């Protein structure tokens, strides 16, 4: 059977990328991919460990002349964000990712690609199987559930790791190495619902759908001025309610992942027939306002209104509706502060990520990121204050630390030297607003020398995700030459 990625270079990297794309690996559901990696290590007669969190550690001795070189940890994560376009028939629990090649890019058909962070796994496997690559002793560490709280890295037993140089392959811009990242946490607000029966006589039912937004990684794209479907829904409902007091809310949902800017949202409302025309005019007006605000960054934004014939028999009480709109309006979203130390770097942000009805509660999830712990705590307190005012409950979870920049780093200097030798250009050193597992490794191993790098990828956490083929080849070549330099 012909392979979709056959002929792409580096050949074995793309071979393994295609292999792991066949295996389900959404966050929290990594058993199959973890077992695949375990079987790989054992079949290659390498020391292989699978812990209770399903993390995989595979160790390989240094090649001839490198037996006594410093041990290097190659690190990435096996899980991926599972998102798909509306109308795409794909079951992430069993269906393989359908790969395609478009010019210089590998993409998926209607879903996220999983380049984040499948490319790290593929590079590591290609190195582990090779017999013609010079390298120091290696400890390949592939963690679970990075995308939804970094639980794998947190659970990792530090006694299993002996290397004190870590190369994280979870960045997405060639020619840049990362030497610091933001910390973060997630918050879940639970609002009890008081339902009320409703008589549909002289009533009309409409759905309001937000679509066409780009979404994206809630760290990397938070400063791009992209629309947030949950905020847009709340704003629309408030605007229409001001014009039509009869509006009652029967259903609301928006977003699907705490670490992705929500692209879609939907609400179902019930109105008095006499308010129908005024409501439609109000929705048209708010759509025009929002479109004019977002048109430079979100040209495909749409606010669709559709009349329904559903047999709805209950709606949220006026009190529940009011408290929900307060929560959605007051929880901060977007960039909250910019770094004074590093120009252009987002210092703190919040993403109002998910709104959904679960039984008799409305769940509102947010993700906070900050390079400073005090700002992370302040944003969490702000959400807690909103929660208290709305008489709801808040739970914080998935907290992870920032990775602080260090002035001196030997591995960083090796990367800079090798990159200059290979490509004749200076390697740029930066920090990032997204979270990396390096922060957790820095806590577990305070003296570990760390760096993060990777090939060009775009649209992470969205169905538009794509991985550059040529950049992957250059980045892999860089990694091999860096390993060769560590003696």
Asked if the structure places residue 131 within a domain, the reply is yes
Q: 26 and 160: one domain?
A: yes
Residue 395 shares a structural domain with residue 459:
no
Q: Are residues 244 and 336 in the same domain?
A: yes
Claim to verify: residue 177 and residue 191 sit in the same structural domain = no
Within a domain: 349: yes
- Let me know whether 217 and 136 are in one domain: no
Angle at 142 between CA 141 and CA 148, to 5 degrees: 130
Q: What is the pLDDT of residues 74-88, one digit of tens each?
A: 999 999 999 999 889
In tens, the pLDDT along 339-382 reads: 988 888 999 999 999 999 999 999 999 999 999 999 999 999 99
435 phi, psi to nearest 5 deg: -90, 140
Residue finishing a domain among 400, 434, 464: 400
Note whether residue 6 is domain-resident. Answer: no
Count how many Cα atoms sit within 13 Å of the Cα of residue 437 in the half-sphere of its side chain.
Answer: 30
Same domain, 161 and 193: no
378 inside domain: yes
Residues near 69 by beta carbon (within 8 Å), at least 6 away in sequence: 62, 136, 137, 486, 487
Our answer to whether residue 341 is catalytic in this structure is: no
Q: How confident is the model at residue 398 (pLDDT cuts 50, 70, 90)?
A: confident
Q: Look up residue 149 and give its two tokens.
A: 């709280």
The encoded tokens of residue 18 equal 């295609």
For residue 231, the enclosing domain spans 185-400
Each residue's pLDDT tens digit, 405-452: 998 999 999 999 999 999 999 999 999 998 899 999 999 999 999 999
**pLDDT band for position 266 (50/70/90)?**
very high
Distance CA 30, CA 14 (A): 21
Predicted pLDDT of residue 2: 82
pLDDT in tens, 107-142: 999 999 999 999 999 999 999 999 999 999 999 999
Asked if 168 contacts 64 with a C-beta cutoff of 8 angstroms, the reply is no
* Domain CATH code at residue 76: 3.40.630.10
pLDDT of residue 434: 87
Statement: residue 168 has pLDDT above 80: yes
> How far, CA to CA in Å, does 151 sit from each of 146, 154, 352, 397?
6, 5, 21, 11
Residue carrying structure tokens 């950049």: 471
In a domain, 74, yes or no: yes
Within a domain: 75: yes
Looking at the structure of the chain, the number of domains it has is 2
What is the C-alpha to C-alpha distance for residues 234 and 302, in angstroms, rounded to an integer? 15
Of 146, 151, 221, 253, which is the active-site residue?
A: 146
Give the model confidence (pLDDT) of 325-337 as tens digits. 999 999 999 999 9
Beta-strand relationship, 72-77 and 165-168: parallel
Comparing CA positions, the residue from 399, 361, 403, 396 lying closest to residue 381 is 396
Cα 475–chain centre separation: 22
pLDDT at 86: 84
Picking from 400, 425, 451, the residue at the C-terminal end of a domain is 400
What number of other Cβ atoms are within 10 A of residue 458's Cβ? 17
pLDDT in tens, 237-252: 999 999 999 999 999 9
Is the residue at 23 inside a domain? yes
Indicate the residue among 370, 400, 430 that finishes a domain: 400
* Token pair recorded at residue 467: 């991985």
Residue 447 and residue 427: Cα distance in Å, rounded? 24
The torsion region of residue 462 among left (phi > 0), alpha (psi -120 to 50) and beta comes to: beta
Is residue 171 domain-shared with residue 194, that is, in the same domain? no
pLDDT for 311 equals 86
Task: Indicate whether this model's pTM tops 0.85.
Answer: no
Whether residue 391 is found in the same domain as residue 413 = no
Q: Quote the tokens at residue 123.
A: 């590079």
Catalytic pick from 19, 79, 139, 365? 79
- Judged against a pLDDT cut of 90, whether residue 55 lies above it is answered with yes
Whether residues 260 and 392 share a domain: the answer is yes
Is 324 in the same domain as 216?
Answer: yes
Max alpha carbon distance in the chain (Å)?
Answer: 85
Can 79 be counted among the known catalytic residues?
yes
Residue 148 has pLDDT above 90, yes or no: no
Structure-token match 């060639």, residue found: 174
Structure tokens at 441: 């490794």
Q: Which helix (H) or strand (E) holds 99?
A: strand 99-102
d(CA 452, CA 429): 10
- Specify whether 255 is located in the same domain as 340: yes
Question: Is residue 1's pLDDT more than 80?
Answer: no
Instruction: Say which residue the tokens 């939804």 belong to.
Output: 148
Q: Is residue 407 part of a domain?
A: yes
**What average pLDDT does the structure give for the chain?**
96
User: In 3D, which of 245, 246, 241, 249 has the Cα closest to residue 272?
Assistant: 246
Residues 142 and 56 in one domain: yes
């Amino acid at each position: 059977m012909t392979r979709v990625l056959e002929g792409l270079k580096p050949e074995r990297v793309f071979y393994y990328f295609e292999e792991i794309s066949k295996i389900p690996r959404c966050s929290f559901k990594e058993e199959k991919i973890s077992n695949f990696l375990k079987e790989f290590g054992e079949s290659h007669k390498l020391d292989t460990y699978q812990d209770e969190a399903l993390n995989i550690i595979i160790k390989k001795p240094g090649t001839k002349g490198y037996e006594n070189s410093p041990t290097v940890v190659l690190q990435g994560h096996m899980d991926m964000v599972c998102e798909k376009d509306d109308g795409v028939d794909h079951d992430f629990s069993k269906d393989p990712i359908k790969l395609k090649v478009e010019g210089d890019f590998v993409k998926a058909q209607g879903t996220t690609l999983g380049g984040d962070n499948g490319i790290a796994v593929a590079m590591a496997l290609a190195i582990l199987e090779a017999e013609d690559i010079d390298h120091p002793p290696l400890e390949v560490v592939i963690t679970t559930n990075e995308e939804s709280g970094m639980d794998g890295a947190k659970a990792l037993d530090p006694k299993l790791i002996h290397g004190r140089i870590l190369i994280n392959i979870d960045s997405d811009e060639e020619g840049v190495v990362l030497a610091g990242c933001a910390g973060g946490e997630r918050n879940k607000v639970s609002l009890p619902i008081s339902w009320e029966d409703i008589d549909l006589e002289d009533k009309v039912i409409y759905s309001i759908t937000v679509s066409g937004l780009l979404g994206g990684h809630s760290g990397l794209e938070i400063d791009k001025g992209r629309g947030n479907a949950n905020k847009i829904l709340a704003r629309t409902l408030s605007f229409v309610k001001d014009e039509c007091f009869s509006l009652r809310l029967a259903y609301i949902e928006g977003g699907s992942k705490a670490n992705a800017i929500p692209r879609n949202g939907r609400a179902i409302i019930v109105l008095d027939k006499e308010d129908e025309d005024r409501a439609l005019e109000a929705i048209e007006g708010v759509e025009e306002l929002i479109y004019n605000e977002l048109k430079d960054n979100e040209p495909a934004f749409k606010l669709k209104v559709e009349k329904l014939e559903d047999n709805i028999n209950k709606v949220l009480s006026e009190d529940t509706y009011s408290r929900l709109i307060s929560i959605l309006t007051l929880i901060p979203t977007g960039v909250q502060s910019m770094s004074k130390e590093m120009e252009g770097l987002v210092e703190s942000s919040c993403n109002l990520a998910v709104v959904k009805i679960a039984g008799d509660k409305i769940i509102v999830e947010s993700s906070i990121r900050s390079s400073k712990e005090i700002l992370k705590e302040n944003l969490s307190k702000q959400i807690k204050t909103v929660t208290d005012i709305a008489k709801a409950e808040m739970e914080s979870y998935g907290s992870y630390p920032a990775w602080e920049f260090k002035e001196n780093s030997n591995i960083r200097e090796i990367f800079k030297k090798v990159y200059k030798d290979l490509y004749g250009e200076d390697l740029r050193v930066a920090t990032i607003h997204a979270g990396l597992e390096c922060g957790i490794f820095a806590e577990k191993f305070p003296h570990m020398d760390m760096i993060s790098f990777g090939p060009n990828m775009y649209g992470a956490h969205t169905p538009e995700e794509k991985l550059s083929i040529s950049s992957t080849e250059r980045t892999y070549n860089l990694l091999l030459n860096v390993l060769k330099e560590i003696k």
